[in-house]
Structure formats: structure tokens, C-alpha cells
Amino acid sequence: MRIVIPLFDRFTALDAVGPYEVLKFLPGAEILFVAARSGPVRDVPKWLAVTADATFAETDACDVLLVPGGPGARGLLENEELLTWIRRMHQGSTWTTSVCTGSLLLAAAGLLEGLTATTHWAAVDVLESFGATYTPERVVSQGKIVTAAGVSSGIDMALTLAARIADQTTAEAIQLAIEYDPQPPFDAGSPIKAPQAAKDLLVKGIR
Amino acid sequence: MRIVIPLFDRFTALDAVGPYEVLKFLPGAEILFVAARSGPVRDVPKWLAVTADATFAETDACDVLLVPGGPGARGLLENEELLTWIRRMHQGSTWTTSVCTGSLLLAAAGLLEGLTATTHWAAVDVLESFGATYTPERVVSQGKIVTAAGVSSGIDMALTLAARIADQTTAEAIQLAIEYDPQPPFDAGSPIKAPQAAKDLLVKGIR
């Protein structure tokens, strides 16, 4: 089972690495990071690089496509090379998935038109501009397409996917392996729950 | 504020990347990945590489040390070069932290003797062999040393740390930025909660 994760400049590493750490345990899985060029791909603010081991051109099929998001995603919404590649991968995939603003790339490729989907809460307008209907759920399944909400939601998405690809016991064993028993010290992980002061700070810029 | 994350062969990427995505938002933060040699450092099973941008020898001080774990950690418990470096970084640090079996490296460096600490649930015996007392909490603070449990717990640890380094509103704004409102589809993230069948499968080997 070939799982392919495309990278691009200014991606968000946790979008990719969260689900990676879940899916790598699946029986028969092989995971390949790919990009326009092979080699290190930098996030924002360039302190982290993940290596792409193959190029888009070299990668013509997969069983699971997992598209991460990040600040760089918005600049790729008219990148026909990438969108054509996403469409081609989706044609042969068993599962086509995204985390965070990765769903904007699926949407720009035309895959979410008329479907319900999710994305980072701050990117809803862009998602809907491509004909998808946003729902504020953490993991949204529509046939073989599974979209996840912002950044950290990829872990929940991947566990959901692991249960479908293998079975619930396998997903639970993976959850135990990564000791995923979340205990956030605060309850501010969604716009509905976050205190106004935290929202104001985020709008103003934390740094 | 200089945050340094050491990497080593066979590290677990989520141990490092989870807290990275939280701490990178902190005002004044700069994060540096380091290793014995600069360049890409591979995880298990070698499908993922994160770039180290400096060597241990080039890195002689930090404000926050964050030591990830992974299968490779156990092979480094007698690596005097690394342990000496950890001791040196700890001497000047404001915070010395670990995720998963990263705490075994802190323990092997002698930093946890007589302290309460945590680690991945499957590594308790090794942690205690160095004179630390394990407690099954997700984030354990002892003075300036903060240890976190297995893999995914680094996100909870980093949010706790963000509130101490900055303030609670900043930590909440970061939690909202990464949409960390966890909703695991199963409740199997600790040995106490996981069904016996999942534990048996993990012992047998998922793959």
C-alpha cells in the first residue's frame, strides 16, 4: 500500500508528520514524501525541512494520497502542474485525503465540488469559493475523500483512516503506540471554544 | 530565545515536530535542529528525514532544550559525546525538556536522578534504572526539567511550556492556530484505556 505525501515550500510540518506517524504502522504501508524537486523542503519560518525522496513527475500512482496544508498552499491554487498531478493521483487512489489547507488544493483541483469538506477554520471562505460546503467537523468523509480540519486534526483523521484500511483493533494499537491520550492544558482549540483574548491575539499576530 | 532540538538516527519525528509547531509561535523564538552531523536525519523506517542545520559541536548554548525520543534513543544511552553535550546544554538552559524516550537520554546524562519523570509507557523500566521515579502523567515538571509521555504528548507539553514562557493567552492562541481540539475516534491512548486486543496486537507487532 503506497501512501504519498506531497510537500511544497511553506508547508506545515505537523499536517504531514501527524498522520505519517499513524499510517506508518499499517501493515503493508510504504510512505513516500514527494515534491516538485527532490531534496529538503522548508516550512514557515524555514527552521524545519523534510526531505522529498522523489519528484511529482516520478510519482504516478498511489493507494493513499495525503495532502498537507500550510501557508504555502494558497499560492498554489492556480499551479496547474500540481493540480494536474493531484487529479491524476486521485484517479487511481483508494483514499484521497487532506489536512488543514491541504483541502484547498483538493478543492482547486476540482475534487470537492458539490461535496461537504473541512479545512483550517480560517480558510473556510477559500474552500467554499471552489464549490465545497464547509462543515466544522474534525474529520469529514465523502466517499473515498477524507478531509481534516486544521494542523493537529491529521492525527484524528489518520486513526479514522487506519480503522477503515485495517480494522479498529489495529487503529487502537497504533493509538497506544503513539500514546495518543490527549490532555490539552487549555480548551482553546476551536473558534467556538477559544477565549476572545486568544482570538484577538491571533488576529493581531502572536509573534 | 533559542530552542534547540537534537536529532539522531531512528528518532520519532512527531516527538520533535509536535512541540516544534507550538513553540515556533512564541514571541522571540528561534528553533534550531541539530545532530552529530548536519544534513538529513532519518527516522524508522527511514521514510522521513528532517534536516539538521547545525552540529552538536557547533551548538554550545540554548534557552530551551527539547530532546525527542524514538527507537534510536536506546542505542545512545552510553554515547558520551551526546550525553556530555546534553549536560552542557542543560547547564545554561532555562528549560530542559523531553518527549517520549527522549527522557531516557536526560536520565542517562544524570539529569533525572532522584526526580519524578515520565516517558513512553513501554520504557518505564529503563527510565527508572537511572534513578528517576516514573509517574504515569502526560507532562511532568520538576524545576526547569519538563518530561512528556509517549510521542503525541509533546503537543500537550509544549502548550504547558508556552504558557510558562509567555502566558496562558499566548498558549491558547497557539492552540487555536493549530486547531488542537483533539477528538480521537477511539479511546486507546494509554495502557489503562486500551482494549486487551489492541495491547496484544502491539506486543505481537502491528506490521
Whether residues B201 and A169 touch (CB distance < 8 A) is answered with yes
Q: How many domains is chain B built from?
A: 1
At A37-60, the pLDDT tens digits run 999 999 999 999 999 999 999 999
**Half-sphere CA count of B192, side-chain side, radius 13 A:** 3
pLDDT reported for residue A77:
98
Q: Which of B4, B7, B35, B100 is an active site residue?
A: B100
Mutate which: B25, B152, B153, B164, vs A, most A CBs within 10 A: B152
ipTM: 0.98
B62 is catalytic: no
| Residue A74: Cβ-neighbour burial (10 angstroms; 0-12, 13-18, 19+) | middle
Q: Which of A100, A111, A126, A166 is an active site residue?
A: A100
Q: Which residues of chain B have pLDDT under 70?
A: none
- Enclosing H/E stretch for A96: strand A95-98
Residue ranges making up the domain that contains B73:
2-204
pLDDT reported for residue B160:
98
Mutate which: A47, A160, A181, vs B, most B CBs within 10 A: A181
Q: How far apart are CA A36 and CA A67, in angstroms?
A: 14
Q: Which residue of B has its CA nearest to A180?
A: B189
Nearest to A159 among B163, B171, B186 (CB): B186
| Beta carbons within 10 angstroms of residue B207's beta carbon | 10
Whether residues A160 and B49 touch (CB distance < 8 A) is answered with no
Whether residues B51 and A40 touch (CB distance < 8 A) is answered with yes
Q: Which residues of chain A have pLDDT under 70?
A: none
Closest Cα in chain B, distance from residue A58 (Å): 16
- Enclosing H/E stretch for A55: strand A54-55
Nearest to B191 among A45, A176, A189 (CB): A176
pLDDT reported for residue B154:
98
Query: Which residues in A lie closer than 8 A to residue B11 (C-beta atoms)?
Result: none
Q: How far apart are CA B3 and CA A44, in angstroms?
A: 16
> Residue B53 contacts by C-beta under 8 Å, 6 or more apart in sequence?
A47, A49, B32, B33, B34, B38
Name the region of A60 (left: φ>0; alpha: ψ -120 to 50; beta: rest).
Answer: alpha
Whether residues A182 and B182 touch (CB distance < 8 A) is answered with yes
Which residue type is seen at B139? V
Which residue type is seen at A161? L
**Where residue A111 sits, what CATH number does that domain have?**
3.40.50.880
Which residue type is seen at B163? A
At B90-149, the pLDDT tens digits run 999 999 999 999 999 999 999 999 999 999 999 999 999 999 999 999 999 999 999 999
Exposure string for B7-38, b = 16+ CB within 10 A, e = fewer = bbbbbbbbbbbbbbbbbbbbeebebbbbbbee
